[in-house]
A and B are shown apart, each in its own frame.
Chain A
Amino acid sequence: MSEAEMKIGAYLCKGCGIGERLDMSAIAMITEREAKAHIVKEHDFLCGEEGVSLIQNDIDNEGVNRVAIGGCSRRAKTEAFTFGDIPVTRANWREGVIWIRPDTDEARETTNDMAADYIRMAVAEVKFMHKPEPNEERATNNRLLVVGGGISGMTAAVEASKAGYPVTIVEKTGALGGIAAQLHKRVPEKSPFAEPVDTGVAELIAAIDADKNIEVCLNSTLAKTDGAPGRFEVTVATESGSTEEKTFGAIVQASGFTPYDANKLPELGYGKSADVITQLELEKLVNDGAGDIIKRPSDGKQVSSVAFVQCAGQRSDKEGHLPYCSGHCCTTSIKQALYFKQSNPGIDTNIIYTDLRTPGAGGEDFYRSGQDKGVTFTKGNVSEVSSEGDSLAVKFKDLILNEDAQENVDLVVLATGMVPNSGPNIDSELTEEEKNAEEKPISILNLNYRQGSDMPQLKHGFNDSHFICFPYETRRTGIYTSGPVRRPMDIFQAKEDATGAALKGIQAIENAALGRAAHPRSGDLSFPSFQKSGCTQCKRCTVECPFGAIDEDEQRYPQFNEARCRRCGTCMGACPVRVISFKNYSVDSVGQQIKNVEMPDEFDEKPRILLLACENDAYPALDMAGMNRIEYSAFIRIIPVRCLGSVNLIWITDALNSGFDGVMLMGCKKGENYQCHFVKGSELAQIRTSKVDDTLQSLSLEPERVETHEVAITDIERIPQLINDMAATIERIGMSPFKF
């Protein structure tokens, strides 16, 4: 849109005490003459029906196509001040000015300065905001690819199909069912949670066989996965070597787990005695005996006593052990002890545990049921299992009786853990040991992405999301992990998890079809645009994108995959030549706000501090500071940013050059327990601003003038304090000499 076609309406609200606190006529004049809004109107109660229709009327009849509102925070009255796709900006006079400034005569002038700057900034910003245009990349393939035909994969497929979406399951082996198919029975899911029940695998396979909407590719793997939500191009390779190209809308990765290698547990007798087996091996033993008579592997003698060793090679920091708990093993051992009790109640079954973990309603009921049927439970640490004559001696410390004990049994079952099938860790180099290992991790997805072949791993090899409140938000849009590859879990949970993952897949398909962003900027229609002419091929954007959305084309230029993009702007912040921008968020839309802050001269004793605040946490905290009337310096000018990762260094340089006395950046916590919704934004900003020192030096400015802080949304008192501290620092070191 050309300058001439642009018509900016500025609407100044006098409600909530704004009219009494601010010199509205002066501000209206500034809005018109300095900010150059085309229409400037004041109203006593702008968010009311009359105020809103005033704006709507100007849009409908006066050709207003940009709206700047002076009033409350953008977080308040959001629905009232949404006018279709017309760009709207807000000057936060209420939470950001009158509520954080004292109502005194001395404060009046600086408070007015603040409000005047904010409307200047709002008008400047809206000039550089444009309606997002439909994403050319929109694609509408609605088939869901499910990787893995175990219980999670099958459930995801059946559930998605029930909602009307076609599904393809790609399963590595020759049959559906996965590890669940090897089980004799499973833990009950319904009250009275008393007896092991049928695994349900056959039922699921039958449902899939009968469903024309579900295609199954057995003996198949993914040779290559390319594209983006709505248009994933996948090469499915069969064992025989043939390949087939298929297109999908979204992917659910349900690649499951591999049982921990019990050979790493010689101290527990595994590999030394055939009668020391894992939980999974017991399932086979029971199936072989048709569930009735369970014979021990060494000599086929009917088992008359069995010990279950919980946490075998788990919850342990020993080399080669798993540091985590696999979650299901306590109930699994109870279930297996019941196999024995059902075949003959006289068989001694003892479960040796340290913490018995049977959560929820079902878990505790099942524990009681096990006890009721005569399964005994011993709190103890097992140190050794060895052959002793005709039996196995289990040596353990009985923690209740506080003594070393030994139990001789016919069979020992080790509750070993789950190792996720998550493929290679794309974020780490292979260790020497891994390089030399015979079996290297095999890629599951073979993503043809710039940032690696598989899903990023969170911890211990699991592909979990890092967000407690958003468990499915992976770092690869349109690909959702489900089942034990994500977190250790039992069958019931895996089915629940798969159902949720299927929904996320469907949602990704629907979003891609409309060109909309997925969580957390759900519904955002903007996407990064890029001017090839200026690009220096520095690769910062392709490397730093937290979501692996940017590839490189043959000429090594960045290639954006909009449907993978989450609109955080990290690429925009990374670009040293500023060729990446969004229609509604750009180097200019922020840069112009900075430029439009009126800069008092050096002798006015009115310093100016710029705060670039993450809109997810720092900005809401500032609003809440206002709601609680926590005062802070009138010299601050705050600009919300999508993520600290989107902060381009030019903003800081420009601010310093134009006379700002200090610059503050506030983002979310980084590091191991990062809270950044865009994963790495805060971390990247920290790295980038560490380079600001050079700029400061070249300008002969003190390093204290630029600060980066990790804050949380709850820092309602701390953030004002940080601002005041910065104001004090400026007072101490003096004004910037760059005021013109």
Chain B
Amino acid sequence: MGDVIATNQTILVVGGGISGISAAIEAAECGKQVILLEKSPSLGGRVSQLHKYFPKLCFPSCGIEINLRRIKANKNLRVITMAEVAKVTGDAGNYSVEVKIAPRFVNEKCTACGDCSNAVESEFDDEFNYGLKQRKGAYLVSNMAYPQRYVIDPRMIGSEDANKAKDACKVGAIDLQMQEESLTINVGAIIWATGWKPYDAKKIQPYGYDRFANVVTNVEFERMADAFGPTGGKILRPSDGKEAKNIAFIQCAGSRDENHLKHCSRICCMASLKQTTYVSEREGKSTVYYIDIRAIDRIDDFYQKVQADENVSFIKSKVANIIEDKDGNPILKGVDTEGYNRYENQHDLVVLATGMEPSIPADAFPMDIKINEEGFIEADESNGAIFAAGCSSDALDVNRAVQQATGAALRAIQVVNKVAGMEG
């Protein structure tokens, strides 16, 4: 990673998830100057919070490791974390971008030794684990965090704890006076890769996510399966900590639903099929309630494999509602539409396959850009040299997001090469 002076031949990538990382590295490895902005304290985005990828059941951190090594080795690429774009002005080949950088309260001297974290007592919900566990007020986001640098939670500032953290640091890396910074950079093209967020499951009232402890979302379930997650890799019921052995997966929880998200989020079928393997590995049973299983293209064989698992059953039904019995067991009610069979099934735990919502609401973009009804950026000439990458453009799986981000990198290169050509 190197220091880059931004010019109108620089490519700006907004968002440091898998799409943004891919677009940035691919462009930088073509010899282009790239600046990668990430809102949170470390790179990796949503995929870094996943336990495994479908259909290979391999671990996202494996690919992240390679990508981080590519970033560390590349002098054309500069990463700025805790940074958000406030405003974009200008035209293709010459944009002026106002960037706000939130204070981390830890400077680049940090060696990630962990002394500050050991010194403080205050704890906050751990965002990396979707609040399923607590973390210290001075913390490293995850084992794979890059930059490998601690963060001081802004809520701790002004407290005695903050001073303890500062005093514990032997290298003077903690700066409690750090303020928000503004930065204006000149770039030629912009790749917008702000990704997605899980749909707010509370809004699906009949499923009682906000009322029943044993109803969780698919992203939370990923954390539960992780050995370094909130349950140490065991699938435990939030209500009583008992191991869950009979798990229901509800597909289209928020997706394909005009009351919630109109679009199909594409990944949730494969994600649930993948998650049934976590359950089977732990000798549990899974039931998948679905409308259509969308195991698209050559990975359909993964669906076939899961279908062959006798511990997994499928019910073609959008679950109508969930109630809870006196022992906290969720009971799912609905009708299996294949032949009309009414059911009232008791499970230990329910996993809602919540869909993908674009991270940025349609009215909150800091620039003019064409957004479709679903909130995704649509390729359009009027967007100038602002190109969407990954899930900013549609609900995509990792493979397609990276593929699309690689294409976005070329579109940005076309613009800056043109600028270079004109400037000789």
Contact = CB atoms under 8 A, between A and B. Distances in A.
B264 A503 contact: no
A54 B369 CA distance: 50
Contacts of B294: 355, 357, 359
Contacts of A416: none
A488 to B, nearest CB: 4
A712 B62 contact: yes
Interface of B: 1, 18, 22, 25-26, 29-31, 47, 53, 56-67, 69-70, 72-74, 109, 111-114, 140, 143-144, 148, 170-171, 226-228, 256, 262-264, 266, 292-301, 304, 316, 337-340, 372-374, 376, 378-380, 394-396, 398-400, 402-407, 409-411, 413-414, 417-418, 421
Interface in A451-487: 459-460, 462, 464, 466-472, 487
10 nearest CB pairs, A to B: A469-B63, A402-B339, A499-B407, A500-B406, A327-B297, A503-B410, A361-B374, A359-B266, A191-B372, A325-B300
A655 B304 CA distance: 47
B376 A77 contact: no
Interface of A: 15-17, 45, 47-48, 72, 76-79, 94, 159-160, 162-164, 189-192, 315, 317, 323-327, 355-365, 379, 399-402, 459-460, 462, 464, 466-472, 487-489, 493, 496-500, 502-504, 506-507, 510-511, 519-520, 522-523, 616-617, 620, 624, 627-628, 668-669, 673, 675, 677, 712-714, 716-717
A496 B70 contact: no
Nearest to B358: A361
B378 A324 contact: no
Contact of A503 (B72, B109, B409): B409
Contacts of A713: 59, 61-62, 65
Contact of B298 (A317, A487, A493, A712): A487
A325 B295 contact: yes
A162 B227 CA distance: 47
A668 B148 CA distance: 24
6 contacts: A45-B111, A355-B293, A355-B294, A357-B294, A361-B264, A462-B298
Nearest to A619: B65
A324 B298 contact: yes
Contacts of A324: 297-301
Contacts of B340: 402
B111 A361 contact: no
Contacts of A72: 111
Contacts, number: 255
B394 A362 contact: yes
A72 to B, nearest CB: 7
B297 A364 contact: no
A714 B410 contact: no
A428 B414 CA distance: 41
B30 A506 contact: yes
A488 B297 contact: yes
A17 B111 contact: no
Contacts of B143: 624, 627-628, 716
Contact of A677 (B18, B66, B339, B407): B66
A359 B264 contact: yes
Contacts of A78: 72-73
Given A359-B395, A360-B394, A469-B402, A716 B227 contact: yes
Contact of B74 (A327, A502, A523): A523
Contacts of A624: 143-144
B227 A361 contact: no
A359 B57 CA distance: 22
A467 B53 CA distance: 10
B58 A15 contact: no
A472 B63 contact: no
A628 B293 CA distance: 40
Contact of B399 (A325, A400, A471, A717): A471
